[in-house]
Amino acid sequence: MVFNFNNTYIKLNKNFYSEVTPKKIKNPKILILNKKLMKKLDIENNNDLAEILCGNKLLSKPIAQAYAGHQFGNFTMLGDGRALLLGEHITKKGIRYDIQLKGSGITPYSRGGDGKATISSMLREYLYSCAMNNLKIKSSQSLAIILTNEKVLREKIENGSILVRVMESHIRIGTFEYVSYSSSKEELVKFTDYVIERHYKNILNYEEKYLKFFEEVMDKLIDMVIEWTRVGFIHGVMNTDNMNINGETFDFGPCAFMNYYDPNTKFSSIDAYGRYSFKNQKNILLWNLTRFAETLIPIIDSDNKNSIEKLNKILKKFNEKYNEKYYKMMKLKLGIKKEGNFNSIIDKFTTWLEKNKTDYTNTFIELINPTLFADKSYSSKEFIELKKELSEIGLDKDIMKKVNPLYIPRNYQIEEAISEYNSKNSLEKFNKLLKIIENPYLKKPNSKIYQTPPLIEYDLKYKTFCNT
C-alpha cells in the first residue's frame, strides 16, 4: 500500500476549498525519506513513490484549503498558497492523517506568490518537525523532501523542493474565521459538527457541545504552549492561521529554540516588536482563543449576548489553567515531587536564569549532572545557594531526566547543516544532527558540541525567515 485515501473534507461546502492540480515535476528525486514514519503510516516503498509524493501521479483529487487569519493582529483572507492536500490517509489501525505537499505550486490562494519552496526552508522544517516529535511534543511530521530541479528566488536564488507533511488535520482557528465570516450559521454548524466528529468524538453527546468544544480546544492549545515553554521553543509566527485546533504544532518557518534565557527572546525577522517573543506566547494564545471564541458566537446560544457570556466564562479560566499547568511543568523540570505550592522558588529560579542569561537547556542538565559545563554562573554563590534550596524540596533526577532534554537543535548548527548541503550537496551534518535529536533525552557519545550554545553575540544578531 502507498496511500489509502478516504477524503472527507471534500464533502464540505465547496467554498471551503479549491480543487487543484500540482505542477508537474521533471525527474523528481527523493532527497530524504522518513522510514520510521513510513512504517507508522503503513506505507510501502515502490518504484512510483517519488512520482506519488511530488504529485505527478495522483491517487485522489488534491485540494487547497481556504482559511483566514489574524496576521500580527490584522485580519486577512488566506488559504493554501503553496500547499495542497493530497488526501486523507487511513492507516491499518484506522487512524486518519492529512498528507499535504508544501511547495507544490500555485493555487487560487497564492496571492501573487510562486507556490514554491526552497530546499533550505524545507530542510529546516523537516529537522524541526523531527525534533519536536522526539521532544514528545505533538507536532506535524515530515515524510519526505522531494527535489524539484527548479530555482526559487527568496533572499537569494535557491534550489526548489517539496515537503510531504503529515498531520492529524490542517484545520485551524483561521479556518473557523473563514467559515464564520464567509458562510451562513447553518454552514458554520455543519462545519463545526464535522470537526467535532473528526477530532472530538468524546463530546458528541454533550448538551452544549459547541461550548465544550471551545473549552477542549483551549485546553489542548494551552498544553501545546506549555510544552513549548518546557523546551524553550519559540514559534515565531503565532498568527491564528498557524493555530491548529487539535494542538499540533506546525509551520516551522521563523521558529527557533532559545539558548540564553531571556523572556524577550525573538528570532523572527518580521516580528519587529516582539509580539511573538518567548514571554508573549501565553498572551498571544489567549488573544487567538478570543478570536476563535468570536467565530462560535452564532452557534453557542440563540441569543448572542448569552453566547458571549458563556464563552467569556471559559476564557476567564485561561490564566488559572495556564498558570496551574505551567507550574506543574516547572515542578517536573526541577524534580519537585512533593505536593504543595512551590511557585515562589520556581519564580526565583527563572529570575536567576534571566539575570544571568544562562543557557536554558544546559542549566537543567547542570542541576542533574553538576560541573558538566564550564559556565562561571554555575559556580556562583547565588546559584550554589539556589541549588541547595532546591535540593531540599526537589532535584529528583529520575523525574528531571524525563522532561529535560540533553539536546535541542541549536540555531547555528542548523544553519551549518543547511549551508553544507547548499554548498556541497552533502547531508553529513544534517544527518548527524538528526541522529542526535532522534532521542534528545539519551546521552550520546562524543556529543558535547551539540550541547554548546553559540556566542551570545551570534544569538543577538540571528534571524529566522518565513521563506514564503
Instruction: State the catalytic residues.
Output: 241
For residues 160 and 100, give the distance between their C-alpha atoms in angstroms, rounded to a whole number: 17
Give the 3-state secondary structure of residue 201.
helix
Whether the CA torsion 430, 432, 433, 438 is positive or negative: it is: positive
Q: 296 and 212 in contact (C-beta within 8 Å)?
A: no
For residues 312 and 373, give the distance between their C-alpha atoms in angstroms, rounded to a whole number: 48
The residue assigned the cell 554563590 is 381
Distances (CA, A) of 211 to 215, 227, 293, 298: 7, 25, 9, 11
Residues 6+ apart with CB under 8 A from 264: 274, 277, 278, 279
Q: 450 is written with which cell numbers?
A: 551539540
Instruction: Provide the 8-state DSSP code for 339.
Output: S
Residue of 93, 87, 86 lying closest to 39 (CA atoms): 93
Give the 3-state secondary structure of residue 148.
strand
For residues 36 and 398, give the distance between their C-alpha atoms in angstroms, rounded to a whole number: 28
Distances (CA, A) of 183 to 11, 108, 263, 290: 16, 19, 40, 20
Q: Across the strands, what pairs with 5?
A: 89
Q: Taking the CA of residue 255 as centre, how many other CA atoms within 13 Å lie in the half-sphere pointing to its CB? A: 27
User: How many other CB atoms sit within 10 Å of the CB of residue 403?
Assistant: 20
**b/e burial code for range 203-234 (CB count within 10 A of at least 16 → b):** beeeeebbbbbbbbbbbbbbbbbbbbbbbbbb
Residue 25 sits at the vertex; the CA angle it makes with 19 and 30, to the nearest 5 degrees, is: 110
For residues 70 and 355, give the distance between their C-alpha atoms in angstroms, rounded to a whole number: 34
Angle between helix axes 185-199 and 209-231 (nearest 10 degrees) is: 60
For residues 160 and 148, give the distance between their C-alpha atoms in angstroms, rounded to a whole number: 6
